[in-house]
Amino acid sequence: MDFELTDDQVTIRKAVAELAGTFDDRYWMEKDRAHEFPTEFYDTLASGGWLGVTTPEEYGGHGLGITEASIILEEVSRSGGGMNAASSIHMSIFGMHPVILHGSQELKQRTLPRIVDGSLHVCFGVTEPGAGLDTTKITTFAKRVGDSYIVNGRKVWISKAQESEKILLLTRTTTFSDSAKKTDGMTLFLTDLDRAHVDIRPIAKMGRNAVSSNELFIDDLRIPVEDRVGEEGQGFRYILDGLNPERMLIAAEALGLGRVALDTAVRYGNEREVFGRPIGMNQGLQFPLADSLARLDAAELMLRKATWLYDQGRPCGREANTAKYLCADAGFEAADRALQTHGGMGYSEEYNVARYFREARLLKIAPLPQEMVLNYLGSHVLGLPRSY
């Protein structure tokens, strides 16, 4: 087993860390407080070519793997940008995978180069209020009318909808009751987010406020058939291709947040003196931080195994889910301990650990909660009866 990154991967890590490091904690705090999209950061990453890391070279990208994408997002998060930074570019880096694999040549030529250069923002529209994690129960419906589809429905928790020109939208084209299998009858589109037919309403939330989360009300949105991804009725199968990589990238973002939180706590533990000694000398503070270091290191190994398996074209569902579970837990625990190390000042906004805490907590929920990971491992890996 070789645990060393390649020379190219080391170069990517250093370059992204340097670039992301030019945006300090003050920048991210101000963006978060103002609920303002980090345009300067996004444009800088786009100018550096990092948005196209996994996009094939024929569309202007680099054609690299999920390992490289995970390194980029880990460093972006670790820079102090956390989820505000990672979520601003996450969809551009890997969200177009279903389009790359299943979209028409015309659709790919029309959209992918603009995603790579950063001029095209795209959001992902799957989740619905009445369906939640049970994607088969979505009711947003696309009715075929000639060479177009007319779409009506509702989506929720759609990140970046306010900034996005297009949406990767999952709909039903056959109702659940009329489908032979519950996963049949869903169709995927990459189409314009026409504000005349889509009402976008932001959701107030506890953190990651530089990147909005939104509810969408879709009323007679017309989609040309050219915007359909692949075949009608196969949309659910297409989005499955991106689930394991998404979990790996979320794991990388959690890992980065945990690392920066731990670094901040260690620095404070060395500098802050109480009763004539650095507080980091006290084992009551030192041991929890050392424990978090060990847990982050262990979680990283599972993430590296998961991305390696995926890039080798091998099954990785077990490893992808486990990496998401371990990194989310370790990242949040590190953020919580960093806040505790700072005492009362941790609850203030001065040292940024409160922001890390809020954003790290999200990763135990999104893109699926820890409990659903355990459901997967219990039924698909251990062979226990399915509980849902």
pLDDT at 381 over 90: yes
Question: In 254-296, which ranges are E strands?
Answer: 273-274, 277-278
Distance of alpha carbon 161 from alpha carbon 175, whole angstroms: 26
Task: Give the CA dihedral 92, 29, 210, 43, nearest 10 degrees.
Answer: -40
pLDDT in tens, 104-131: 999 999 999 999 999 999 999 999 999 9
Residues contacting 315, CB < 8 A, separation 6+ = 309
Average pLDDT over every residue of 199-209: 97
Residue-level pLDDT at 340: 98
Whole-structure pTM value: 0.96
Distance of alpha carbon 83 from alpha carbon 69, whole angstroms: 15
Average pLDDT over every residue of 247-264: 98
> Is the previous residue joined to 278 through a cis bond, with omega within 30 degrees of 0?
no
Residue-level pLDDT at 388: 83
Nearest to 258 by CA among 80, 96, 85, 99: 80
In DSSP terms, which residues pair with 142 in a beta bridge? 151
pLDDT at 77 over 90: yes
Residue-level pLDDT at 2: 84
pLDDT in tens, 321-334: 999 999 999 999 99
Q: Quick one: CA dihedral 333, 361, 242, 53, positive or negative? A: negative
Residue 45 in contact with residue 12, Cβ under 8 Å?
Answer: no
Average pLDDT over every residue of 3-21: 96
DSSP character for 60? T
User: What percentage of residues in the chain have a pLDDT greater than 70?
Assistant: 100
Average pLDDT over every residue of 196-203: 98
- Average pLDDT over the chain reads 97
Residue 197 has, within 13 A of its CA and on its CB side, a CA count of: 15
Element (H, E) at 216: strand 213-224
Residue-level pLDDT at 180: 93
Cα-trace Rg, the chain: 21
pLDDT at 1 over 90: no
Instruction: Identify the band that residue 61 occupies on the pLDDT scale cut at 50, 70 and 90.
Output: very high
pLDDT at 191 over 80: yes
Average pLDDT over every residue of 53-67: 96
Distance of alpha carbon 383 from alpha carbon 388, whole angstroms: 14
